[in-house]
Structure 1
Amino acid sequence: MKKMNDRKIIFDKTLNIEAYIFSDGTQDFPNHFHDHYVIGLINNGNRTLTYGETKYYIKSDDMILFNPFDNHDCRNQDGSLLKYIAVNIPKQSMEYLTYMIKDKNTLKFKYPVIKDMGLAKQFEKVHYMIMENENEMEREELFILFMDELIDKYSKYKSLEINNENNKIQTIENYIIENYDKIISLDILSEISGMNKYAVIRSFTKIKGITPYRYIETIRINKSKELLKYNNDIVEVALKLGFNDQSHFTKTFKKLTGLTPGEYKNIFK
């Protein structure tokens, strides 16, 4: 386990998840999304969470449940110091869990913020066992039991079909996903979608809940995390993913994750 000032983070190979603790932090996290599920618990501190178009005021004992690609931002509300524990679960792992537990394809959490003291206590115990690398069989068993109850109470099942709300925005999204490592401009997005660039910004932000630029940033950072896991050079990762230089990459990475690329890379050594 690596300790980085006010943060601790590990990768549990058995469960295939990241577990981490943020403590004594006041950092704001701007509008972004994850390509994985996030389950977290606030131990201390007051925060304002904007999830899509809805604002929540979160505090101690609140649990947060983020679905992949759901945009959100989280900001310090009153200067209080944050203590927060969480796990990141890859989509493939969640799909496997959902299939094994409920015989379904995949799921979507119904609410981004819940108050459930019983589940919170279970989560604290499971999280502690992961962070301390305690008995493998027991922690896997407790994790599955926790997920079983969480899925039962606070999720809905859905198919894996893509919901095409707007064909033009879907075209833009597909282009970004396929070309995130290249130079992408509003002119290019305008050309491929058949919309003027002002309509691109307005429509994309309305439908996706995040601006095209921030969407591109988030995709690049999510991809960079995969490369850093395998000990790739930070400068090479930055250039490979279309960042101007290492400084730009580091600034963006920390803005969206709370860690520097070097700190994140050290987790997997």
Structure 2
Amino acid sequence: MPKEQEQRHVYYDRDLKIEAYNLSGIVQKFPNHFHEFYVIGFVEGGSRHLWCKAQEYDLTAGDLILFNPHDNHYCAPLGGEILDYRAVNIPPDVMEKAASEITGKNFIPHFTQNVVYQSDITQSLGRLYDAILKGGPRMEREEAFFFLLHQVLEDYAAPFDEAELIQPNPQVQMLCSYMDEHFSENITLDDLLTMTSFGKSYLIRSFTRQVGVSPYRYLQTVRLGRAKKFLEQGVPPIDASDMAGFSDQSHFTNFFRDFTGLTPKQYQRIFTDSRHAASPEAVLTGTDHDEREEP
């Protein structure tokens, strides 16, 4: 499929403080990774094979996808079919505040299912996306947002502290915390070994089994999340790369594009353009995957 037929539209709603995006005509594989935010999405067209937390799913149009922060997942086309996909990314603090307002109590939600086949909730998600896309009145967008969350929380979420979660053992949790805090440093396996009683092979296998991604992939994903924050703040991509701990600009750009479908500069425009836009959201559409990053 010609690259120019691929479309990537990303919108940032400054009132709701969420990202909404649409991927259409996409054949790209997305490697194993996780997000630090909640994702509510649905397949609008095409088919995908999804791996999420050691489970596999075949997705088609009308299927709802729910990711908690740190739910590792990856996907690939089925039968070479292109993907049309819509989703919203919701930061944990935004989700917690909205969930508390909806439930009337302190409520940190945990999605109990990652995939809901042929869900009517996709219509509510589509309405929210359309309201953001057209720059509708704030009340319209807020209503659509809360209506969507009410449906999802009612049917497919449990309080985080009541969910049946299998947590990594204390040593692995300590390694995650260390990488969260020291992401910009040149961390080696030897550094991690000094904090455990593991050997290298066992550390890699045990960490990957319990967390869902390898130590290196975990570190790179954390760095990606930090780099996105720097870009949102207007830090130039070359500086964001260095501040987040990536070894060089080229590696950063390739890694960023593999995991988000956008280059760092394309992603940054969503936020830098919004500072001068009259509407509450910034819009980016991308079709050129060969765009080169400039310092």
TM-score tier, shorter chain, comes to: over 0.9
Separation in structure 2 between the aligned mates of residue 67 and residue 50 of structure 1, nearest angstrom:
14
- Aligned counterpart, 1:158: 160
Deviation at 1:117, TM superposition (A): 3.9
- Higher RCO structure, 1 or 2 (CA under 8 Å, sep 6+): 2
- Aligned counterpart, 1:218: 221
Alignment deviations for residues 72-130 of structure 1 (CA, whole Å, 9 cap, x no partner): 11111111111101100000001101111112320111111113542111211111111
- Aligned counterpart, 2:231: 228
1:26–1:82 Cα contact (<8 Å) kept: yes
Deviation at 1:5, TM superposition (A): 5.8
Is there any run of 5+ residues in structure 1 with no aligned partner, and where? none
Answering whether residue 109 of structure 2 is matched by residue 107 of structure 1, we say yes
SS at match of 1:174: helix
- Aligned counterpart, 1:262: 265
- Aligned counterpart, 1:88: 89
2:257–2:264 Cα contact (<8 Å) kept: yes
Is there any run of 5+ residues in structure 2 with no aligned partner, and where? 274-295
1:105–1:160 Cα contact (<8 Å) kept: no
Separation in structure 1 between the aligned mates of residue 69 and residue 160 of structure 2, nearest angstrom:
13
- Aligned counterpart, 2:243: 240
- Aligned counterpart, 1:59: 60
Answering whether residue 147 of structure 2 is matched by residue 168 of structure 1, we say no
Separation in structure 1 between the aligned mates of residue 117 and residue 167 of structure 2, nearest angstrom:
33
- Aligned counterpart, 2:279: none
1:220–1:241 Cα contact (<8 Å) kept: yes
1:42–1:84 Cα contact (<8 Å) kept: yes
- Aligned counterpart, 2:50: 49
Counterpart of 1:98 in structure 2: which amino acid? A
Separation in structure 2 between the aligned mates of residue 160 and residue 184 of structure 1, nearest angstrom:
34
Separation in structure 1 between the aligned mates of residue 121 and residue 166 of structure 2, nearest angstrom:
31
SS at match of 2:194: helix
Separation in structure 2 between the aligned mates of residue 248 and residue 67 of structure 1, nearest angstrom:
27
Aligned-residue identity in percent: 35
After superposition, the CA RMSD in angstroms is: 1.7
Separation in structure 2 between the aligned mates of residue 238 and residue 60 of structure 1, nearest angstrom:
36
SS at match of 2:99: helix
Matched residue pairs, number? Answer: 266
Counterpart of 1:231 in structure 2: which amino acid? G
Separation in structure 1 between the aligned mates of residue 118 and residue 73 of structure 2, nearest angstrom:
22
SS at match of 2:120: helix
2:9–2:23 Cα contact (<8 Å) kept: yes
